[in-house]
Amino acid sequence: MKKLFVGNLPFNTTDEDLHNLFASIGEVASAKVIIDRQTERSRGFGFVEMESSLAAQAIAELNDADYGGRNLRVSEANEKGQGERRSSYNRR
């Protein structure tokens, strides 16, 4: 299984919408739009898990594709802790 990062999502995208978008490529194990805890609104990105062989195809077909008037950014997700950026706000 590969975990994919999906950025630049329209803010009204649901988990089901994200799942259906990637299901056009192949079987999706999970799809989750990330929600801001304070505002309870979408943060404009999410994660999809699918078979490794399908993940490469999904990246090739959906990266920079127009979805809801926005160009998606699709790439392999970094493992937690690798390349993770933290704002200076969190370090205070």
Residues 9-56 have pLDDT tens digits of: 999 999 999 999 999 999 999 999 999 999 999 999 999 999 999 999
Count up the domains in the chain and report the number. 1
What is d(CA 55, CA 76) in angstroms, rounded to the nearest whole number? 8
9 is a domain residue: yes
34 is a domain residue: yes
67 is a domain residue: yes
pLDDT band at 75 (very low <50, low <70, confident <90, very high): very high
91 is a domain residue: no
The domain spanning residue 14 has which CATH number? 3.30.70.330
CA nearest neighbour of 2 among 30, 44, 33: 30
**Cβ-count burial 11-20 (b if 16+ within 10 Å, e if not):** eebeeebbbe
CA nearest neighbour of 71 among 2, 4, 9: 9
CA angle 39, 76, 44 (to 5 degrees): 20
Domain residues for the domain of 72 are: 2-78
84 is a domain residue: no
pLDDT band at 74 (very low <50, low <70, confident <90, very high): very high
pLDDT higher than 60, residue 91: no
90 is a domain residue: no
88 is a domain residue: no
12 is a domain residue: yes
